[in-house]
Amino acid sequence: MKKSAREEAPVSSEDMDALRSFDTCTVSNAIETFGVRLRHIGFANDTIRCMFPDLKPVVGYAATARLRCGDPPIVGGIYHERKDCWTNILQVPPPRIVVLEDTDDPPVGGAFLGSIHAAILGALGCVGYITNGTVRDLPYVHGLGVQLFAGGVSVSHAYAHMFDLGAVVKVGGLEVKQGDLLHGDRHGLLKIPKEVAAKIPSVADHLRETTQKILDFCQSDNFSIDRLCVMLRELD
């Protein structure tokens, strides 16, 4: 029998801590070395903005759903009537990142996440929230330490409500499935292939050292194009 996202063996806590110590650009570079996917996929485009660039990188498992703000929900018009939404989040291992695809076309700018929902997500072991829609109550959410990735900011929640819990969603061109492993920081958001997740930290550490050598050389008095070419060949 196929295991559910809740039952899958997550990446070890040690590896999760190690992944969290690298910025998302370095993690992206490390993933490229394994050749497990094309280089132009696996990350969200620049329509998804990091709301809190000063916070450290977040790593977590995706709990997915779709979002609609332009029409009242048929049922569950009050958020505390939607226990199923919160239960869905607990179907993936911690740390968790909620990913909501805003399906309004055109978008109406309603923000599902504000202070109350951010507090609830924090209590449910969530370290981040991602949507192609909007968010609000930024100072309070920042104080909770919950990272936000969104298409923008709004003053109203409009009729924001979730549906299609656990569905495959798309935000900023990135397809996300329930239980996917995500990494994000001020640079953006990407999906980590689980089959190489444990190997990424050592590769990322090597890439970081290599990059620093090049940066130091470019700022040294010994810099020349010929020497740069020699160094790049040796490091390659």
pTM of this structure = 0.90
Q: Is residue 58 part of a domain?
A: yes
Handedness of CA 113, 124, 92, 82 (dihedral sign): negative
197-200 CB contacts, 8 Å cutoff, 24+ apart: 197/11, 197/15, 197/19, 198/11, 198/12, 198/15, 199/34, 200/18, 200/19, 200/22, 200/27, 200/30, 200/31
Question: Do 174 and 226 lie in a common domain?
Answer: no
Q: Is residue 159 part of a domain?
A: yes
Give the pLDDT of residue 158: 87
pLDDT in tens, 112-166: 999 999 999 999 999 999 999 999 999 999 999 999 999 999 999 888 888 999 9
- The closest alpha carbon to 51, from 147, 126, 131, belongs to 147
Round to whole Å and give the CA distance between 197 and 143.
29
pLDDT average, residue stretch 17-43 = 96
The 10 Å Cβ neighbour count of residue 228 is 14
**Burial annotation 6-36 (CB, 10 A radius, 16+ → b, else e):** eeeebbeeebbebbbebbbbbbbbbbeeeee
The total number of structural domains in the chain stands at 2
Question: Do 109 and 35 lie in a common domain?
Answer: yes
Round to whole Å and give the CA distance between 5 and 92.
5
pLDDT in tens, 182-226: 999 999 999 999 999 999 999 999 999 999 999 999 999 999 999
Question: Do 173 and 100 lie in a common domain?
Answer: yes
Q: Is residue 8 part of a domain?
A: no
Question: Do 206 and 106 lie in a common domain?
Answer: no
Domain assignment of residue 185, given as a range: 13-196
Amino acid at 80: H
The 10 Å Cβ neighbour count of residue 234 is 8
Q: Is residue 1 part of a domain?
A: no
pLDDT average, residue stretch 27-49 = 96
Q: Is residue 51 part of a domain?
A: yes
Q: Is residue 67 part of a domain?
A: yes
